[in-house]
A = this chain, B = another copy of it.
Amino acid sequence: MKLILASASPRRAEILRDAGIPFTVLSSAVDETPLPGETAADIVRRLAAAKAELVAARAVGPAIVIAADTVVALDGTVMEKLSGRTHSVITGVSLIRLPDVERREFTDITQVHFTALSDEDIVKYLASGEPFDKAGAYAIQGVAGRFIPRIDGCYFNVVGLPLARLCRELSTLGWTEEQN
């Protein structure tokens, strides 16, 4: 059964590629504006589901569509700017198997501990260009790794896709590697 990644994120594609999992990409653009009163977990769940629906409507089965949305949350609300505080990274994942439209939806949370950042650290990091277009304005796999002495949870979830949980859920939809 083929896998279709409903994401234009080069980081999510790299996670699957490094794990040796074959897939194709069919990306979707959804309006990411939060709704009034939504928590961080609500947002990622809603956006992952919306991305999966859009791509499933265009895809041909048999296949499983994989969509995800990642935010950085501080006390339950989305953190847009870089902060030196310990926070949560939440990824919502939505899977749709085609042609029978069987679904799986889950979220995964990783706690990320940052070292205290000086104003100079922040200015230099922003100047590196790396924060652009990243949830929470940092990339653990890049320069920001030096500010992160500890995480508690799935590493790949921080990069954008909770790999171990994803593989488990894909199995429950009948995906095995031999079929690829």
| Chain A residues at the B interface, C-beta cutoff of 8 Å | 15, 18-21, 115, 124, 128, 140-143, 145-156, 162-168, 177
Contacts and interface: CB of A to CB of B under 8 A. Distances in A.
A144 B114 CA distance: 26
Taking the full assembly, how many copies of this chain does it contain? 2
Q: Which of A20, A154, A162, A165 has the most chain B CB atoms closer than 10 A to its own CB?
A: A20
B128 A164 contact: no
Contacts of A146: 19, 21, 163-164, 166-167
Interface centre among A147, A150, A154, A166 (most CB of B within 10 A): A150
Contacts of A19: 142-143, 145-146
A156 B158 CA distance: 13
B155 A155 contact: yes
A20 B128 CA distance: 10
Contacts of A177: 124
A150 B153 contact: yes
B142 A165 contact: no
